[in-house]
């Protein structure tokens, strides 16, 4: 039997939950990150791509979070909240 990593979905042994310490830290940091819905709305409806990257970078630095994780989380939240509106 095999299990999958909670973060990256790689196959791992059944006795483990994460494939590496980095995946474990990323998973829990991602769970701790809270991004306001209005911030997501502003990023995707009122900013172009360059402004969006700059805003995400500033937001991540302000809260001392990984920029890559914040970027991924904003994309996921956008899909959850607004993707059905941008048809």
pLDDT tens digits, 8-33: 888 988 888 888 999 888 889 888 99
pLDDT tens digits, 35-67: 999 999 999 889 999 999 999 999 999 999 999
Of the candidates 27, 8, 38, 42, the one whose C-alpha atom is nearest the C-alpha of residue 73 is 27
pTM over 0.85, yes/no = no
DSSP for 46-81 reads H--HHHHHHHHHHHHHHHT--HHHHHHHHHHHHHHH
Evaluate whether 27 touches 18 at the Cβ level (below 8 Å). yes
């Amino acid at each position: 039997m095999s299990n999958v990593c909670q973060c990256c979905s790689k196959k791992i042994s059944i006795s483990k939950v994460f494939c590496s310490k980095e995946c474990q830290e990323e998973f829990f940091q991602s769970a701790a990150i809270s991004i306001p819905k209005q911030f997501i709305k502003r990023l995707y409806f009122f900013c172009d791509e360059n402004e969006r990257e700059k805003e995400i970078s500033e937001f991540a630095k302000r809260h001392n979070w990984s920029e890559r994780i914040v970027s991924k989380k904003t994309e996921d939240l956008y899909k959850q909240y607004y993707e059905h509106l941008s048809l």
